[in-house]
Chain A
Amino acid sequence: MSDDLDDLKDLMQAATPQADPARKVENLALAQKNFDDLQGSTDDMRQTSVRPPKGLFRGVIHMFANFPLRGALVSSTAIVAVAMIAVFPMTQSERVSNGPLGGLTSLTGGAPEAEPVAQSAPMVEPVIVEEAAEISLDAVEMRARPSPQPVAKAAPRALMPAIAADPVIIAPEIDTETFANADDNPLKVTAEEPVSTFSIDVDTASYAVVRNSLMSGRLPPAEAVRVEEMINYFPYDYAAPDAGKAFRPTVSVTGTPWNGGTQLVHIALQGAQVTDRPPLNLVFLIDTSGSMNQANKLPLLKQSFRLMLGQLRPEDEVSIVTYAGSAGRVLDPTPASERAKILAALDALDAGGSTAGQAGLQQAYATAAEMAEDGQVSRVILATDGDFNVGLSDPEALKDYIADKRDSGTYLSVLGFGRGNLDDATMQALAQNGNGTAAYIDTLSEAQKVLVDQLSGALFPIADDVKIQVEWNPAAVAEYRLIGYETRALKREDFNNDKVDAGDIGAGHQVTAIYEVTPVGSDARLTDPLRYGAAPVGGDPSELGFLRLRHKAPGADESQLIETPILADMGGISADARFGIAIAGFGQILRGSDLMGDWSIQDAEALATETRGADPYGYRQEAIGLMRLANSLSERVE
């Protein structure tokens, strides 16, 4: 038995080389240097459990702007990291000088056609930067013994230095996901703040992320849950708009399942279907960086696009741009009828290298511009696992760039693949600025839903910049809160400002927004009326509030206004729409909301089961399964 191992051991003994003496001296010196540096700054080190002020830190980073400083910094390691960079040039000067630092054009200045310089840079051996090792070592340790220190997840992205060198750092998986989210919309007192304004959101990415988490046996992180995206994931049976209208709002009022003293105001928008669609120019911008090399990423992406290709018409055109280390166009604009050619290009894609997102975007937009003709819709579809680690010199500049392209008529949609370094926050930012949708694709059936069943909604905008504003009547509604849409809040004055961007509705899209309102005089009121406040305002108490909707025809500059009062007796809500309420409750429980009372996931499951209806594609049944799963998982936690 042990013979096997003895043989192996001898072999191993023979194979193991001596450590290189020169490297040994260097490495030991490095260790000693770091040791000394650490001692010198002992007091500082121990006090950094609070993150240093941004400005200061940013300054330090700019000093070292030539080094890629990757996001997931644990605060206490930040200073260690910087100290190590200082050492780096002495011990590693040769490798550092290899870093291809010149290759990236600035977002704002770079001409889109410019051949990305990075392409011509020789492939250099990846530079492993010391601070990265430090960070990730810590991350590994932190996993082993849970640390009280929170991992700074979202913020560091903004701290990325101006230039990133070609290769390198993918921090360990669990620490690199960032999610866009904000605290629950707070309860508002109508007398103090009667007007609520937000942009619609047709994304569904959050639901798929939640599903993926639950399916792999974990409760989703609370910040991954965006309730409105969960609700909007499901198709509902809303009334269709009249001919010639882009969409139709339906408002209904119903009791709140989780609170006997409040009511839900359910606002549903149904977008018109397009029967006669214009030709489509699609530029697939595909992330082929090394991190995409997993079964649920690039291979799934290829299968997904194959599905989608079947939905295109002969007059549509497709082009493929990839980015990884350098950007390149792998398929020139090709009519969708040349299926074999497109499929061949798709099949030839191979993952490797790091992610030059910026150069890729520039090239994709340049390609889209080349394809554009009057009366056609151009859209860039970015497929990525979200790892924009190279060339994204300035997230703000990137947003501006995309916003600028949006105004020139090219839309941007983002498809997220895989988990691990899914950068939900950047995906959201890109899609929101690009007037597009963000969807997360974790299975082929999700690809079927997003890219086949709902393709027209995903690709054909019927109304741009759709904003909702509700003015609540203080005579009827004491308090209100908007469920979800935390990341979509708008300022009150933005509603009438047509320059302010908002979400778009695609063909056949459905959008649901739910308010929980506390009627005047209800026991469920959480705040006490003011003793010295203004006298109760007049107004007809049968009118709960007033709904205003603004939208623009696609490409138009001026918005149109739709107004309708919300009446207390608006009529019951359909069972079909109540399914959305079950999802809303489920989502809020997953977010850890403290306003759900005793209402549990089991109650959500009961309501969802009761309201499931025909459910031809089984989406709802799947959600019920997820509720069951979440229930078991949360019981295990307790």
Chain B
Amino acid sequence: MRMDTSDESLALAAANGDRAAFAVLMERVYDRLFALAFRLTGSRAEAEDLTQDICAALPAKLRSFRGQAKVTTWLYRVTVNAAQDRRRRQMTHARAAEGWGDWETERRAADDEQAQALDTLQAMMRALPDDLRDTLALVLDDLTHAQVAEVLGVSEGTVSWRISEAKKRLRAMKEVTE
């Protein structure tokens, strides 16, 4: 019934205590949040946990949502912050997972070519420093540089610079491996 309501209206209604609006919004954004969580962490299990953290915290965070940004932008920002935070916490763990460090991609798609491609992806993402990797993850999620800039709270120029820097490094890597 509310499927044609915009994310923003849903979020504002939810911020004002509309339970049904919150439910619809969460249903709508969950998969995208999960996908981004995966791209930020490089691990399915991590992504599930991260999404759970976010789900748990969102109701409280939503109260500060005043429609100042697009809901997706705002949600992405929450997700990136949560991922960075989680990373920081894990730095201190024994298994200190560098993002994309212990890659656990499902290997069920066992055809060799794809497995190899995934290895390449892993190697690439792993080689990037956190800020470049996060930026890249957002750009690969079809956000424009301007949107990414808003999510990360940096200038658009910085995003563009990071992307070209990431490309440069990836190219350099390719040359080395080829």
Task: Give residues in A with beta carbon < 8 Å to B.
Answer: 1, 4-5, 8-9, 11-12, 14-20, 23-24, 26-28, 30-32, 34-39, 42, 77, 80, 84, 87, 91, 123, 126, 128, 130, 132-134, 136-137, 139-141, 144, 167-173, 289-291, 293, 325, 352-354
Contacts and interface: CB of A to CB of B under 8 A. Distances in A.
Contacts of B59: 31, 34-35, 37-38
Interface in B68-88: 78, 81-82, 84-86, 88
Interface string B78-119: 100110111011011111100000000110010000100110
B1 interface: no
B118 A30 contact: no
B96 A293 contact: yes
Contacts, number: 172
A126 B94 CA distance: 9
A141 B56 contact: no
16 contacts: A5-B140, A8-B121, A15-B105, A16-B35, A16-B39, A17-B105, A18-B31, A19-B30, A19-B31, A19-B35, A24-B30, A31-B22, A34-B60, A35-B59, A128-B86, A140-B84
Contacts of B38: 15-17
B60 A39 contact: no
B57 interface: yes
A140 B27 contact: no
Contacts of B93: 126, 167, 290, 352-354
Main secondary structure of the interface of B (DSSP, over half): helix
Interface residues of B, number: 62
Given A11-B120, A35-B14, A137-B81, A23 B56 contact: no
Contact of A38 (B48, B63, B81): B63
Contacts of B84: 140
Nearest to A350: B94
A80 B56 CA distance: 10
B78 A137 contact: yes
B178 to A, nearest CB: 13
B66 interface: no
A31 B91 CA distance: 27
B131 interface: no
B124 interface: yes
B60 A28 contact: no
A325 B94 contact: yes
A14 B57 contact: no
Given A128-B89, A139-B85, A352-B93, 4 more contacts: A34-B57, A80-B60, A84-B56, A170-B88
Chain B CB within 10 Å, residue with most, of A24, A30, A144: A24
Given A1-B167, A5-B167, A27-B30, A133 B57 contact: yes
A15 B104 CA distance: 10
Nearest to A95: B49
Interface string B21-65: 011001100110011001100001001110111011111111110
Contacts of A289: 92
B106 A130 contact: no
A396 to B, nearest CB: 26
B52 A4 contact: no
A36 B94 CA distance: 36
A32 B30 contact: no
B82 A133 contact: yes
B153 interface: yes
Which of B31, B35, B140 is the most central at the interface, judged by chain A CB atoms within 10 Å of its CB? B140
